[in-house]
Structure 1
Amino acid sequence: MTSITLRRVDARAAYLGVACVNAIAFAIVVMHRWLTPLPGSEYVHRLVTYEGGLLRRALVGDIYARFTDQVAPWVVRVEGMVAVAVCFGLAMLLFRRCIRGRQADVFALGCLIFGSPLLFKNFIGNLGKFDVLGAIVAMLAILLPLRLATVVLVGLASAALLLVHHIHATIYVPTIYGILLLRMVAQPGGLALRDGALLAASLAVLASLFLYLLFAAVPKVPVEVFLDHIRARAVQHVGDEQSFMWYASLADELPRTFAVLPGHLARLPVYAAIILIHWPVIAFFARRQQRVQAEHPGLGPAWLVVCVVVLGGFLVTNVITFDYARHLGNLAMCFLLLALAQIAAHGGRGEDDSSDIDATNPKVVAAALATAALPWVGVVYPLI
């Protein structure tokens, strides 16, 4: 039984077509986000300030307040696009550092990764949300030299992420510190006691900040006063429901999540299909991790610990919130960065070779085309 493959020249033409489809999909999602009204939940985060004390989800709004009395929606869109562009640039740098090989193979893998509806398209589709900031810090945790200054800088950046939105505690902060742990374990001699203590102390500080933001950093004024304050800085309508995010407790959040859970369960086949079309990338990085962990015995147990923590964080996130489609994209980004961190820490001794992506396999081409054709994965439900 023989396998069917494309000629290399045909594969090159196919991936050029995939790249064109990707460009169209990116254009569609950019135009959609630029031309449709800015969602109120994204806009209101630029209006809340620290005027009445330290509040959760208020750092970005307080920064805006230092430059302008009112916030125009187009400024929020520009801010979001700049953040995605920075993230994309860092990802390109990371990709070039970690992936090498024949140009055609690298191009094919790049189409699969950068064209995924779970990654950068999803950041644009969720323009105005702060997930992209977590990805930026995680990429810096891989790219910067592994020194004390880097750990301190990453710790401060992680604290800033929590002040921007405390949900980072269960999404990107575990990934960021997982990256640092994997890099430290991959060092000659493994994880030093001093490094482990530094990570533990940093995480303890971040955990304390998270708990304070979650339970104590709530407005001390009546809802009406809070709404009047943010509406004074708004140039588009701010509904009464927008105050919920600052006044709600965990007990208030859970019923909303459980109310939409049946809709998510009904869409499990859609979630599975979205994951399945990424199988060439999943298999590619799985092979690399096996090789890296075979040469660094300590990486295997560390990887399992990081996986449990990251997946546990996402489970907590999806119990409390209901943006399952959006968070599926974040989960994909987190595991992609964790895989790249191991390749980067290993020094690319063979693991950066992209030749086994099997770019001439029609199934791989079809997967690349399928990922390219999807503009983005969605916010609450997939493809919505």
Structure 2
Amino acid sequence: MLAVNVAVITGVFIHKITLPPYVPYIHLLVDYHFGFVKRALIGEIVSLFTQKVPVWLVFALGGAVWLLTAALFVKLFRRTFGFNEAHLPLFVFTAGSPFFLKNFMHTLGHFDIYGCLFAIVLLLIPAQSVGFVLLAALLSVILILIHHIHLLMYVPTIAVIVVIRHYLTGGIKTSNLAIGAIAILSLGALFVALQFWGTMPVPEADFVAYLKTRMADPTRTDLLGFSFIWYQPLAKEISDTWARLPSNLLGVPVYAALIWLHSPLWGYFANSIRALSDERHRRIVVAGIIGVTVAALIMFGIVFDYARWTSNWAVCLFLILHAVKTLPCSKKVEPISSRDRKTNAFGWIVSLIPRVGVIRPF
């Protein structure tokens, strides 16, 4: 199954590099030239190294981030579970999931993977010091500057990881509680500033003209078609999403089926929560999962990229599982069985599905 996943990921990559990178490319062009605006941090960093951005940089940068994320997840899985035979089915249902690395390959160059990467980093490093809370806040700031929707997409998961790894394990003190509260308020203020005052302050024609000066090939004007998103207010995004709702809801049964195919993983996750020795820990973990899910549902009501939101929600749960395994347990959790016929069938199907998609399934 792992070999099939490697082959599928290779195929997705070959297919991806043949497609025009409309949204990812323009994000590499936009910087803070006209002032502080949303969705401009990555472009600003790129501008420090080059003033002419080639199209291939989307795939080079996106590929490097993908490889780093995959490598760190393998390291995380090895540390949490190990690569013994008993836990290989769990690895197939996480690393081999169409929600995870395969879909990140399909969305190569998009900003989603940065949230996953930062969350994995926070799962790997020591969490006892209050510096862990400060680092999590800093990484969350970076994510929101990359794209403000990260406040709903990965910042809630980062918050759950901080609560589990720092507050539940190390204890709540006045100092770390105050820093956490300040961080939450600061992230909320940053989101509001970007959402309501982060639009481009110049006419769109001037904005597009500037972007052309940053293109290695200014004739590729087809890649600038998404310049309007730096001018689109929240009300417009919501109205567009609800206008597409009837057609997008047709994909919900597909998402439900994909989630059902991961039922061996969800069963293991539920058993891991039940095995926690502290009832308070169990309640906080469940509340965290509910919070992450509610944030995903809010995204569904604001922006219509349903396939991406569903995929990232699943990835967030994969990562929270690793955080849960750091808490003390009262009993051993049996790994996913490799001898169960239904589990094996689900594993093969999950391995063969190449991706979930961006807006609609597949």
TM-score category of the 2 structures, normalised to the smaller one: over 0.9
For residue 173 of structure 2, the aligned residue among 186, 189, 192 is: 192
For residue 325 of structure 1, the aligned residue among 292, 297, 307 is: 307
| 1:296/1:185 CA distance change after superposition, 3 Å | farther
**Which residue is 1:225 aligned to?**
206
Equivalent-residue separation in structure 2 for 1:316 and 1:112 (angstroms): 26
Q: Deviations over 1:28-87 (max 9, x none)?
A: 11111122222x111100001101111100011111111112111111101111111111
Q: Is the 8 A contact 1:186 1:298 kept in 2?
A: no
Equivalent-residue separation in structure 1 for 2:30 and 2:274 (angstroms): 46
How far the C-alpha of 1:344 sits from its partner, in A, is: 2.2
For residue 125 of structure 2, the aligned residue among 144, 151, 164 is: 144
Equivalent-residue separation in structure 1 for 2:330 and 2:87 (angstroms): 16
Confirm or deny that 1:131 pairs with 2:112.
yes
| 1:199/1:137 CA distance change after superposition, 3 Å | same
Q: Which amino acid aligns with 1:248?
A: Q
* Farther-moved stretch of structure 1 (321-330 vs 193-202): 193-202
Equivalent-residue separation in structure 2 for 1:58 and 1:254 (angstroms): 22
Q: Which amino acid aligns with 2:324?
A: Q
Equivalent-residue separation in structure 1 for 2:275 and 2:167 (angstroms): 15
Q: Is the 8 A contact 2:273 2:285 kept in 1?
A: no
Paired residue secondary structure (1:46): helix
How far the C-alpha of 1:280 sits from its partner, in A, is: 0.8
Q: Which amino acid aligns with 1:93?
A: K
Paired residue secondary structure (1:51): coil
Question: What TM-score do you get using the length of structure 2 for normalisation?
Answer: 0.94
Q: Is the 8 A contact 1:34 1:77 kept in 2?
A: yes
Equivalent-residue separation in structure 1 for 2:290 and 2:185 (angstroms): 18
Q: Is the 8 A contact 2:90 2:335 kept in 1?
A: no
Q: Is the 8 A contact 1:126 1:379 kept in 2?
A: yes
Confirm or deny that 1:300 pairs with 2:282.
yes
Q: Deviations over 1:148-170 (max 9, x none)?
A: 22221221111111111111011
**Which residue is 2:15 aligned to?**
32
Paired residue secondary structure (1:220): coil
How far the C-alpha of 1:94 sits from its partner, in A, is: 1.2
Equivalent-residue separation in structure 1 for 2:337 and 2:91 (angstroms): 13
* Farther-moved stretch of structure 1 (75-84 vs 176-185): 176-185
How far the C-alpha of 1:255 sits from its partner, in A, is: 2.1
1:7-46 equivalences under 5 Å are: 18-38=1-21, 40-46=22-28
**Which residue is 2:144 aligned to?**
162
Flag structure 1 segments of 5+ consecutive residues without an equivalent. Answer: 1-17
- Name the Cα RMSD after superposition: 1.7
Q: Which amino acid aligns with 1:381?
A: R
Q: Deviations over 1:224-277 (max 9, x none)?
A: 101111122122324664122110111111121112211222222211111111
Confirm or deny that 1:268 pairs with 2:252.
yes
**Which residue is 2:335 aligned to?**
356
Equivalent-residue separation in structure 1 for 2:268 and 2:102 (angstroms): 21
Equivalent-residue separation in structure 1 for 2:46 and 2:26 (angstroms): 12
**Which residue is 1:65 aligned to?**
47
Q: Is the 8 A contact 1:182 1:341 kept in 2?
A: yes
Equivalent-residue separation in structure 1 for 2:60 and 2:160 (angstroms): 31
How far the C-alpha of 1:140 sits from its partner, in A, is: 1.6
| 1:123/1:349 CA distance change after superposition, 3 Å | farther
Question: What TM-score do you get using the length of structure 1 for normalisation?
Answer: 0.89
- Identity among equivalent pairs (%): 32
How far the C-alpha of 1:183 sits from its partner, in A, is: 1.9
Q: Which amino acid aligns with 1:269?
A: P
**Which residue is 2:234 aligned to?**
250
Q: Is the 8 A contact 2:94 2:318 kept in 1?
A: no
How far the C-alpha of 1:350 sits from its partner, in A, is: 6.2
Q: Is the 8 A contact 2:58 2:109 kept in 1?
A: yes
How far the C-alpha of 1:92 sits from its partner, in A, is: 0.9
Paired residue secondary structure (1:298): helix
Q: Higher RCO, 1 or 2 (CA under 8 Å, sep at least 6)? A: 1
Q: Is the 8 A contact 2:12 2:102 kept in 1?
A: yes
Q: Is the 8 A contact 1:186 1:296 kept in 2?
A: no
| 1:240/1:85 CA distance change after superposition, 3 Å | closer
Flag structure 2 segments of 5+ consecutive residues without an equivalent. Answer: none
Equivalent-residue separation in structure 2 for 1:79 and 1:123 (angstroms): 13
**Which residue is 1:173 aligned to?**
155
Q: Is the 8 A contact 2:66 2:105 kept in 1?
A: yes
Equivalent-residue separation in structure 2 for 1:176 and 1:142 (angstroms): 9
